[in-house]
Chains A and B, each alone.
Chain A
Amino acid sequence: MKPYRRRLIGLPLQRSLFSGISRAPATIGVLGVLPDDRFAAWLDDEGDLYLDTTDVARLVAALPARATPAFFEDMERSLALACDRVIQSTERSRSRATSADAAEARVLLSEVGGAVATLLPYGILSKFLPDALYQLLRATGDSSDPPFPTWSPGSELTRAGASLCVCCHERGYSPERLRTEWPLVPPDVVTMVEDFCRDHTGFGPLACEAPGYEEPRYVIGILAGMLADNDPAALLRRLGPPAHIPRVEPPSAVTSPLRRLLAAWLTFLDRETWYVRRAFYLALLPLLRRLLPVYQRTKDDFVPEDLLFLTLDELLIPPGDPRIAATRRARYLADAEYFAKYGITADRLRTIMAPR
């Protein structure tokens, strides 16, 4: 079988959170269709994602027989709960990580890691389920546009970026000047950029260690690409308000929950990576830093980034053989294709694991 996505996830810690993606059928309450109610979806040791399209087709084919308002409402509710659980556990870990001892750090790690692992089957389902639901919607006679989000996270991000540019411009800093002089810029400019990064942590590639909006240089690069020689105020004027997208009233009681569910999936599509990355930077990394002394007591040359090469289960029990992390790290660092794909530099892991 060919990979569905090559070199998707490189870090063993993040890969281990994908261990439950085969449970996706049960996640949406479609039972009795596939053997053991599991479909063939997995990440291999190279970080390649495999997805059996035959299983996908069987799952999709089973949907029409289950198309009731209660089914759609249950799915919408479970999706919302899974998203909310990631947000809540991320915030809890974020607020407690700095004072947590190793034991509490493990409890929080289990909580947030479990929440992300529960969410990830939805991420796999999002590759085909919205299309299947849209077909069901069309079959009910609803021929209106899909319920895309207006002011989607992507367009809000763009407006926020343009606003940041306007503020920096007022202080004499174009994106190009920021790119040249960062971080040697006035403190108020540093604060504005860093606040933007904190507020938008979570946007970026699915491979969590690849640079994203948590990183000032990444944001400045995006702003430079977005603006070049343009006036940010003019750009802001162009960006709003959004294009008019007509809203239609659902034609029937059956269509209404289906349309609402599809809207929830389309909103989730824009946030699925954001949930995972935000949990990684605001919860998992601070908790790993609390565990580091435990590992360094058992192995003198255990470096902080080695923690990213342990699985969630390995981190939740007392340290076994810490040399396994170094072995995995060496293999990871040899994957030039992966580094090129995401623009990851050699010092990236050390940077993200550095004390904050």
Chain B
Amino acid sequence: MSEPSEIRLPGRAAAPGKASGPVHLVNEASLHQPVPTGCILVTRILHPHQAPLLARVAGIVTEEGSLLQHATALAREFGVPAVVGVRGATAQCREGDRIEVDGDLGVVILVSGR
């Protein structure tokens, strides 16, 4: 096993708070996979029809950048920290990677080398 290393991924603070947990990658074709409790949902973009998946997540990371997108509104309503506009998030993260979301500063820290 390789030594753990940290990668800081900058984004925009979208919903306040801090959370950490395992990465759960979501796209339209994988919507029906069970969402692990306490995971950090990582996706290119979050649509309103995917909102039920947020019921058990601890944090949200999206690649698309606007502060006024669905992910921001939903994260605030669900009381979940969120960072949006994180370029390359879905490519950098693997399912189950440890990740920390800082919704106050707009930063994501990916801990690799599990």
Which A residues fall within an 8 A CB radius of B?
130-131, 134, 146, 148-155, 157-158, 161-162, 203-205, 210, 212-213, 218, 221-228, 230, 235, 238-239, 242-243, 245, 266, 269-271, 273-274, 340-343
Contacts and interface: CB of A to CB of B under 8 A. Distances in A.
Contacts of B36: 228
A271 to B, nearest CB: 8
15 contacts: A130-B66, A146-B68, A154-B74, A155-B74, A157-B48, A158-B52, A162-B55, A204-B49, A221-B31, A225-B34, A228-B35, A228-B36, A243-B76, A245-B76, A269-B73
Contact of B68 (A130, A162, A227): A130
Going nearest first, the 6 A-B pairs with the smallest beta carbon separation are A154-B51, A221-B32, A154-B48, A343-B29, A203-B49, A228-B34
Contacts of A131: 66-68
A148 B76 contact: yes
B31 A212 contact: no
Interface of B: 27-29, 31-37, 47-56, 66-70, 72-74, 76-79
Contacts of B56: 226, 228, 230, 235
Given A148-B73, A155-B51, A228-B37, A222 B31 contact: yes
A354 B51 CA distance: 29
A340 B32 contact: no
Contacts of A270: 48, 70, 73
Contacts of A205: 28, 47, 49
B49 A238 contact: no
Contacts of A269: 68-70, 73
Contacts of B47: 205, 273
Q: Which of B47, B68, B78, B79 neighbours the largest number of chain A CB atoms within 10 Å of its CB?
A: B68
A38 to B, nearest CB: 24
A238 B72 CA distance: 19
A247 B31 CA distance: 34
A273 B49 CA distance: 9
A113 B66 CA distance: 30
Given A152-B48, A225-B35, A273-B47, A342 B68 contact: no
Chain A binding site: helix, strand, loop or mixed by DSSP? Answer: helix
A169 to B, nearest CB: 15
Contacts of B70: 154, 269-270
B76 to A, nearest CB: 6
Nearest to A127: B66
B52 A222 contact: yes
Q: Which of A149, A225, A274 neighbours the largest number of chain B CB atoms within 10 Å of its CB?
A: A225
Contacts of B69: 269
Contact of A230 (B27, B37, B54, B78): B37
B74 to A, nearest CB: 5
A148 B78 CA distance: 13
Given A152-B73, A204-B49, A342-B29, 20 more contacts: A131-B68, A134-B67, A152-B48, A152-B74, A154-B48, A155-B77, A157-B52, A158-B51, A161-B52, A222-B32, A225-B53, A226-B52, A226-B53, A228-B34, A228-B36, A235-B56, A239-B78, A269-B73, A273-B49, A340-B29
B76 A158 contact: no
Nearest to B64: A127
A224 B74 contact: no
Contact of A242 (B32, B49, B77): B77
Contacts of A161: 52
Given A146-B67, A221-B31, A225-B34, A158 B55 contact: yes
B96 to A, nearest CB: 16
Nearest to B27: A341
A146 B77 CA distance: 13
Nearest to B36: A228
A239 B48 contact: no
Given A224-B34, A225-B31, A341-B28, A266 B52 contact: no
Contacts of B32: 218, 221-222, 224-225
A235 B37 contact: no
A89 B78 CA distance: 34
A150 B77 CA distance: 7
